[in-house]
């Protein structure tokens, strides 16, 4: 027994086991510790704008159609043969009031037909040598000094018009000037800077059956640009379209690079865009139309959470919504789309969108609908 205790072979395995155990314990004791990552707050990335009070002026945008203010059918007052036709009596040709347009031979005399107003020939139904009876339709004439535009306006927008009553002597309203609302007319589908100032003079007493619209009547002076011989500017037409011939030298002298000059008449029967200045809103908050949710709510960014807020709408158009109550100045309104939006949803503001100046928001003075 004692021999085994003093035998080196007996202790070597025990020593090796002890050294190995101590080494393993030291390694476990000094092993590197895993660093804890910071607990970042996660949330939906959103774009916001800052609410500000403004006093925008409403501009009502709608449509209309052009029609002549004066239109007559020139008819034969006596039976006979057409013995003379004026060169002015051709479709698209303009004439002046009192000009001789046509003569009908009656045995030894003749009947002379004169223009009842300044205008243009819309259609011609007679030729030289033709025999006509009393009442035969000879031509259709329309006035050239004034055109009318029949404007369709939804009933809900009628109260946005800023109606001006023109009072005559004694404080009474003139019958012909009950309305005097300015408007601007432009041709639909034509990319130009041609606008006609118009005055809304009256409204019809029946609604448009197609859309139950109120029908306003506006007057436009000089629809065919007969009096305005200074050219209408139209941008972005190449200078190369003009030749260097002697025929065009006068035009070349007045021409500026990047512009050309065209006359575009207000065609009868044409569909037009109509802009009507309306009332002015006071102390409203303007937001993009996409920021309105479920017709009467908006999403507010409060800290890192989304809050749903009910609002009252003062006015709404195609591009913007104007809020009268529900939002205070300085609050951040979310304009981003979010799936599953709910109160308390975690959000994260986009730094690039936080500046309202970069959003080009709030700088518009007029509102279109």
Angle at 280 between CA 276 and CA 282, to 5 degrees: 160
Asked if residue 304 is part of any domain, the answer here is: yes
Last residue of a domain, one of 112, 143, 174: 143
- Chain segment 161-206, per-residue pLDDT in tens: 865 543 334 444 455 555 788 999 999 887 666 788 999 999 898 8
Please give the average per-residue pLDDT across 335-347, as a whole number.
92
State residue 236 phi and psi, 5-degree precision. 65, 35
Q: Residue 293 belongs to a domain with what CATH number?
A: 2.40.420.20
User: Within a domain: residue 137?
Assistant: yes
CA 235 to chain centre: 20
Residues 337 and 240 in one domain: no
167 and 292 belong to one structural domain: no
pLDDT tens digits for range 303-324: 899 999 999 999 888 789 999 9
The domain containing residue 251 runs over which residues? 228-263
Evaluated on CA atoms 86, 91, 96, 102, the torsion sign reads positive
Co-location of 123 and 51 in the same domain: no
What pLDDT is recorded for position 319? 85
Q: What is the mean pLDDT of residues 61-90?
A: 95
Residues 275 and 193 in one domain: yes
Do 286 and 360 fall into the same domain? yes
Do 275 and 311 lie in one domain? The reply is no
pLDDT greater than 60 at residue 5: no
DSSP string, 60-80: EEEEEEEEES-EEEEE-SS-E
Annotate 136-181 with three-state secondary structure.
CEEEEEEECCEEEEEEEEEHHHHHHECCCCCECHHHCECHHHCCCE
Give percent of the chain above pLDDT 90: 51
The confidence score (pLDDT) of residue 9 equals 61
pLDDT at 285: 96
Query: Is residue 157 scored above 70 in pLDDT?
Result: yes
Predicted local confidence at residue 209, as pLDDT: 76
Distance CA 143, CA 122 (A): 10
| Residues facing residue 65 across a β-bridge | 150, 271
φ and ψ of 317, to 5 deg: -135, -165
Given 143, 161, 190, the domain boundary residue is 143
Residues 6+ apart with CB under 8 A from 96: 115, 118
Average of per-residue pLDDT across 73-86: 95
CA distance linking residue 242 with residue 246, whole number of Å: 11
Q: Which residue has the higher pLDDT, 212 or 68?
A: 68
Same domain, 48 and 79: no
The pLDDT confidence band at residue 369, using thresholds 50, 70 and 90, is: very low
Contact 101, 126 (CB under 8 A): no
Residue 217 shares a structural domain with residue 252: no
Name the domain count of the chain: 4
Boundary residue ending a domain (123, 143, 163): 143
- 271 and 205 in a single domain? The answer is yes
Give the chain's length: 369
Of residues 96 and 175, which shows the higher confidence score?
96
> How many other C-beta atoms can be found within 10 angstroms of the C-beta atom of residue 285?
25
Lowest-pLDDT choice from 3-12, 283-292, 295-304, 331-340 = 3-12
Is 131 found in the same domain as 82? yes
Establish if 194 belongs to a structural domain.
yes
Does residue 34 lie in a domain region? Answer: no
> What's the mean pLDDT when you consider all of the chain?
79
Q: What is the CATH number of the domain that holds 192?
A: 2.40.30.170
Give yes or no: residues 241 and 194 share one domain. no
Is there a contact between 81 and 104 (Cβ–Cβ < 8 Å)?
yes
């Amino acid at each position: 027994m004692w021999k085994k205790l003093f035998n080196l072979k007996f202790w070597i395995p025990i020593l090796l086991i002890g050294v190995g155990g101590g080494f393993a314990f030291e390694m476990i004791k000094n092993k590197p510790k895993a660093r804890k990552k910071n607990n970042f707050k996660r949330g939906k990335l959103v774009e916001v704008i800052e609410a500000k009070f403004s006093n925008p002026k409403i501009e009502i945008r709608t449509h209309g159609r052009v029609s002549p203010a004066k239109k007559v059918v020139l008819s034969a007052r006596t039976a006979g043969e057409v013995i003379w036709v004026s060169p002015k009596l051709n479709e698209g040709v303009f004439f002046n009031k009192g000009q001789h347009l046509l003569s009908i031979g009656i045995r030894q005399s003749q009947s002379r037909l004169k223009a009842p107003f300044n205008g243009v020939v819309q259609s011609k139904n007679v030729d030289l040598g033709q025999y006509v009876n009393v009442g035969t339709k000879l031509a259709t004439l329309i006035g050239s000094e004034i055109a009318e535009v029949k404007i369709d306006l939804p009933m809900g927008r009628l109260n946005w018009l800023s109606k001006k009553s023109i009072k005559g002597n004694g404080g009474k309203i003139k019958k012909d000037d009950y309305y005097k609302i300015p408007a601007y007319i432009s041709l639909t589908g034509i990319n130009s800077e041609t606008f006609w100032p118009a005055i809304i003079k009256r409204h019809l007493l029946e609604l448009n059956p197609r859309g139950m619209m109120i029908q306003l009547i506006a007057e436009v002076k000089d629809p065919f640009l007969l009096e305005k011989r200074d050219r209408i500017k139209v941008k972005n037409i190449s200078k190369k379209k003009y030749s260097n011939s002697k025929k065009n030298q006068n035009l070349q002298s007045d021409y500026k690079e990047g512009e050309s000059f065209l006359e575009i008449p207000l065609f009868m029967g044409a569909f037009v865009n109509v802009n009507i200045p309306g009332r002015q809103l006071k102390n409203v908050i303007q937001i993009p139309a996409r920021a309105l949710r479920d017709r009467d709510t908006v999403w507010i960014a409060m800290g890192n959470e989304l809050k749903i807020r009910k609002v009252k709408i003062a006015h709404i158009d195609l591009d913007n919504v104007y809020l009268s109550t529900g939002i205070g100045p300085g609050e951040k309104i979310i304009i981003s789309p979010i799936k599953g939006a709910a109160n308390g949803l975690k959000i994260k503001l986009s730094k690039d969108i936080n500046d309202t100046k970069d959003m080009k928001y709030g700088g518009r003075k007029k509102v279109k609908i």
